[in-house]
Amino acid sequence: MEEKLIDEKKQGELLVLEQKEGNQRKLFIESYGCQMNFSDSEIVASILAEQGYNTTENLEEADLVLVNTCSIRDKAEQTVRKRLEKYNAVKKINPNMKVGVLGCMAERLKSKFLKEEKIVDMVVGPDAYKDLPNLLKEVEEGRNAVNVILSKDETYGDISPVRLGGHGVTAFVSITRGCDNMCTFCVVPFTRGRERSRDPKSILEEVNDLAEKGYKEITLLDQNVDSYLWYGGGLKKDYKNASEIQRATATNFAQLLEMTAEAQPGMRIRFSTSNPQDMTEDVLHSMAKYDNICNYIHLPAQSGSTRILKEMNRQYTREEYFELIDRVREIIPDCAISQDIITGFSTETEEDHRDTLSLMDYVKYDFGFMFMYSERPGTPAARKLDDDVPAEIKKRRLIEIVDLQREHSAYRTQQFVGQTVEVLIEKESHKSEAQWSGRTQHNTVAVFPKEYYKVGDFVMVKIEDCTSATLLGNAVGYSKNNV
């Protein structure tokens, strides 16, 4: 048991987009890891649509197979290696098929990948997707191609991603790339480079375009959304050298959030992920001010022990985390909160583990994503600390944390029974053809009989019952937000 309560169904999801007329070549693209990767795959497919590629669901007929990879934990890398074995088997039937590795594993392993995985023709890091046309030419001429250069300013703001993988109701809009936080366990700063924000103008254009296409909910996406800062382009770390005029006209995350909420009052606005050390009160006030900003924050704690937080180079203590939670509850009393927690980080004792359990008891999170610590080569923790908590102990602590989260999720879900809440319909329930599935603004899944409602409707649902993670009810009419 590595990860519990995380949506594993999305892993390896295949991206199939609208077919562009005249395109002859076939692209099979699969994605693993975080939402940023799924978003990036849409950008890649858009770039390749201009190069004559249409997406296919059929691996056997592909001219080009791309796998967008994740390095966050060892298990994620092993999953990709297994997929490469599968592609290798298909390549034996279709020797002209080319295979490319994209994303964080490409960045971490660079040209070493070509030696390790003989079937790989192309290795492309997260900032090099615009170079794909040139790299493909190299591959077609029989050479291997690698571009893993990390950029100071690439945000793909000028590429309009094609999005037909989902249900046309919710979409992710990426606002920043890279991460400067240097949490000691994390590989992201090494694979995705330094932090740089995207021009708010291009973000708003993308949001407006999504609204025009009928989307009803967007999630502003980044490893660390609260750190968003646009001052005319460039790295966040270079803001200290910004001119007076650049400072005076800069846009921070709270401002971006408000601009987005105002631009599309009929759309739900979400954001993810918040880092406690960068979350500021003005964001909470913006959330309270606009009805269409969902009352939900994903606020990873990682640990409840101040000592471990220090070893992780998280810039907050247990007490500061509690203060932030108290402020959230004061400013947005009904805010749902979710967590990421790592168990068994280097030197974690039973006492540290108990601190994590008691932190969870204090917050009573609505949801959680919990992981056993997986040492990543090259990270500060791998260089300076021993991965000294035995696997069985990590596993036992993970089970305890997952069980406690399940109790808290059940408690939070139960609070909605008897209430009438707004649900945005996303898709048919996977358990019953007669039911719709959608989410409340608190991000809780709700399931109810279809009647005459349709995907994309905002519906008021009377909650009659629940499981630990799902609300069960009946629609009582459209929401006032349904247009």
- Minimum CB distance to ligand SAM smaller for 63 or for 278: 278
Phi then psi dihedrals of residue 209, to 5 deg: -65, -40
Which amino acid is located at 233 in the chain?
Answer: G
- Minimum CB distance to ligand SAM smaller for 87 or for 321: 321
- Minimum CB distance to ligand SAM smaller for 63 or for 375: 375
Whose CA is closest to 152, among 221, 85, 237, 93?
A: 237
* Cβ neighbours of 284 (radius 10 Å): 20
User: Which tokens go with 43?
Assistant: 């950008």
- Minimum CB distance to ligand SAM smaller for 345 or for 453: 345
* Cβ neighbours of 396 (radius 10 Å): 14
Nearest residue to ligand SAM, by Cβ distance, number only: 340
Phi then psi dihedrals of residue 382, to 5 deg: -65, -35
Q: Residue holding tokens 């280097």?
A: 346
Q: How far is CA 87 from CA 78, 96, 100, 216, in A?
A: 14, 12, 11, 37
Q: How far is the CB of 400 from ligand SAM (least distance, A)?
A: 17
- Minimum CB distance to ligand SAM smaller for 49 or for 359: 359
User: Which tokens go with 403?
Assistant: 């069980």
Q: How far is the CB of 454 from ligand SAM (least distance, A)?
A: 34
Q: How far is the CB of 139 from ligand SAM (least distance, A)?
A: 30
Q: How far is the CB of 86 from ligand SAM (least distance, A)?
A: 25
Q: How far is the CB of 183 from ligand SAM (least distance, A)?
A: 6
Q: How far is the CB of 190 from ligand SAM (least distance, A)?
A: 11
- Minimum CB distance to ligand SAM smaller for 78 or for 96: 78
Residues present in the chain in total = 483
- Minimum CB distance to ligand SAM smaller for 377 or for 477: 377
Q: How far is the CB of 439 from ligand SAM (least distance, A)?
A: 20
Q: How far is the CB of 405 from ligand SAM (least distance, A)?
A: 13
Contact 216, 169 (CB under 8 A): yes
- Minimum CB distance to ligand SAM smaller for 83 or for 376: 376
Q: How far is the CB of 218 from ligand SAM (least distance, A)?
A: 19
Q: How far is the CB of 199 from ligand SAM (least distance, A)?
A: 22
Q: How far is the CB of 43 from ligand SAM (least distance, A)?
A: 18
Query: How many Cα atoms within 13 Å fall on the side-chain side of residue 259?
Result: 17
Beta bridge partners of 196: 177, 235
Positive or negative CA dihedral for 196, 201, 207, 210?
A: negative
DSSP secondary structure letters along 216-242: -EEEEE-TTGGG-EESSSSBGGGGGG-
- Minimum CB distance to ligand SAM smaller for 273 or for 305: 273
Do β-strands 458-466 and 445-449 pair in parallel, antiparallel, or remain unpaired? unpaired
- Minimum CB distance to ligand SAM smaller for 46 or for 273: 273
Helix (H) or strand (E) holding 402: helix 391-414
Beta-carbon contacts of 218 under 8 Å, excluding residues fewer than 6 positions away, are: 170, 171, 172, 173, 207, 210, 260, 264, 267, 268, 269, 270
Contact 109, 67 (CB under 8 A): no
Spatial separation of the C-alpha atoms in residues 446 and 39, rounded to whole Å: 25
- Minimum CB distance to ligand SAM smaller for 98 or for 353: 353
Residue 128 CA, distance from chain mean position: 20
- Minimum CB distance to ligand SAM smaller for 73 or for 439: 73
User: Which tokens go with 297?
Assistant: 């924050």
DSSP secondary structure letters along 410-456: HHHHHTTTT-EEEEEEEEE-SS-TTEEEEE-TT--EEEEE-TT--TT
Q: How far is the CB of 438 from ligand SAM (least distance, A)?
A: 25
Contact 297, 331 (CB under 8 A): no
Residues that bind ligand SAM (CB under 6 A): 34, 72-73, 183, 185-186, 223-224, 273, 275, 300, 302, 340, 342, 371, 373-374, 376
